[in-house]
Structure 1
Amino acid sequence: MRSIARQYIRSFEGLSPEVWWLSLVTLINRAGTMVIPFLSLYLSESLSFDLESIGWVMSAFGLGSLIGSWLGGKLTDRLGYYKVMYTSLLLSGVGFIILQYLQTFSSLCLGIFVIMLVADAFRPAVFVALTAYSKEENRTRSVSLIRLAINLGFSAGPALGGLIITHLDYAGLFWVDGITCMAAGVLMLVLLDPKRVKTETPSVINTENISPYRDRSYLLFIAATFLFGLVFLQYFSTVPLFYKDIHGLSEGAIGLILAMNGFLIFLLEMPLIKYLENRSVSTMGYILFGILLTMLSFLVLNLGSWSGLLIIGMLLMTLGEMVAFPFSNALALKMAQKGKQGAYMALYTIAFSFGHLFGHNSGMQLASWKGYAFTWWIMILTGGISMLMLFLLRPILRKERISC
């Protein structure tokens, strides 16, 4: 046991103090966004909105997230990641407090849109910050630490939110959410002042300062990322319905299976990435392997009616996620050209925003039309197309002398 514990601790060694502080800020911010999981309930129970109105408010949420990611990338390149991050944290905190006073449909649509636009400007900026706060050899593990903070935050947030609603009602939820976001912003001002911290100069091979929207190799990478995101996100919308409709699982059992995903990421991702970094496999090889594992998880769902297959499927998907996402993120940072890192990472986050916009609905429509088994075969095919795109991308990146 001591040997295992030592190995686990070693997986965190070598990361800069700034990456740790950035992870703490991210943890507080993500745990603080506890309004989001309860937004639809708040609109229904407290404001008596019908389902159609709630749907439009959630669409405003998605649109704000999408545009916020794009705007955050633009502002990061112009103003720097530091200003964008602390401004996003402070203003979104104020926005969440104000949100409780918006009562009409139109004001809520506008308010949610503006808040998400401001809040999600943080996302591309934090990835660019990693290029400054981490050494290149530690970048994949630095990404994993940020992912660990995000997963812990998203796990703690809903639990805390439920307790706050029980004891303080929804008004308390908005206040706590706003205060935690502002606290994260203040913490960043205190701990990550660029005048007092050391930064690394990113090593970027490309010299032409072009837009990522005209970088064909990067667009191919983003298209493959979008398709993988579309497949992966089925596990958080269509797959839970499959658990209930086909296997008859209760909400509690479904929750335990989904919770296993976050617990395993928390427990295993950092030591796994540390182990994989010391192997001779390329970054692209790991991304392809992660997608393959995710495809196999859907294949398992079609193998029979035994409920144990659901556990095996979740294990395969979780392992695929732990392998594919950190290395995919690291490759996006490698491909980002100097002076345009914000725009490049914004496009990377937008790929997942589009995955949210299209993935959940497409999976449910397919399941309703042709059934779950057909849907899982389509997801396997979609993952295969994503892998094919990455196979085509690999020789292009080698010609551009980008290590992949």
Structure 2
Amino acid sequence: MTPRETAGPEQTTGPWRPTWSPGHTRPGLPPLTMVHDRSDDYAFMAAALAAHTPASGRITIHPTPVAGAPAALAHDVLRSLGKHLPPHGSPEAVGWAAQAEIAWRVAAAWMSALRIGHVVVTRTHRISSRHFEHLFALRELTGMRLTLLCHGPVPPALATALSALEYETVHTLAAARRTLAAIEPADPPTAARFAWWEAAAHFPPRPGEPCFWLPARRTPSRTDIQAASRRLDLDANVLPLPAVGRFPPEPDEHTMLLAHRLHARIVHPVHAAALALRILTGRPQAQLPHPATPGTNTRTEPGRWTGIPTWAVDLIEAGDCFGNLDRPTRAEGPLRLSGWDQTAVTEAARTCALHELPAPGSRRGRTRGRPGSTRPGRSTPTTR
């Protein structure tokens, strides 16, 4: 179930915001359960961590201790989905910490595209009332089943939050295990989909890791490729990718490696979708199709994409979900990227060790870069 299908009328007039008001719970939501581990028995925590099975549509969020930033819990959600945020202390990380609404839209978009139907949250006795508000707003939007694990006495923030909701309390380990295993997704993941969670891409990127050329509609000459390699000072193996329009439904070994990087290293869904569309179409950033209309491809009734490689399905749909949350009234057409977005997509490509070849006959590839230029695979994506 996607935000487009669950969002209320207010979502048609402005961006979705992670706000929740007691007494205004949407009817028909899946159960909310509090697992109360009164004696702080680690067996409860172990059961919750073992319940983390994204392939079944269930994730376990392990909140960062004493993280008071408004976006902190959203970041924990993204990490549980296998998304790597910029390194702590970088300018990009500061931007993410300051943009709570965007971080929660990003989390909601990925959850909807990846069909996450059950969210388990541990250490809820350490969560602030503001984070509970954001979490319940996410539940309202996505219609997810929510299980909260509280260790020790119930803190005032959790008691206050639950006082306005219908919920069930579980006290025994056996009952907790039954609750943690429960999931009834409306549109569960399938084994045929690209299993992005089966392998993690190294982050930050390793120096000298294999890299790729961005596919282009017209193949540059060998001379252009050699000149571009010298200009970029590539010190790694350059792996081939299928030509534009010839990506098979299931990825080959090289495409699989790149797909894992796209899923793990790019946290913003619009930037991930834009880069996937660049790879599939060979078009420059200014001419990318909209995620909702990727070329001649179509959508199935439940909202799944057809006619494109399986590894790109979630990336493109997540970008579309985010756009629906960020600008519900946006017009369909070419993907509109701001100057900031274009820079972010370029940085994301570098983080995935994807490099742009010069156009055939261009003199760009015949000149060396300036001394001290950034080496491939060693920069981090710009973020909001």
Larger C-alpha radius of gyration, 1 or 2? 2
TM-score (norm 2): 0.28
TM-score (norm 1): 0.27
More helix as a share of residues:
1
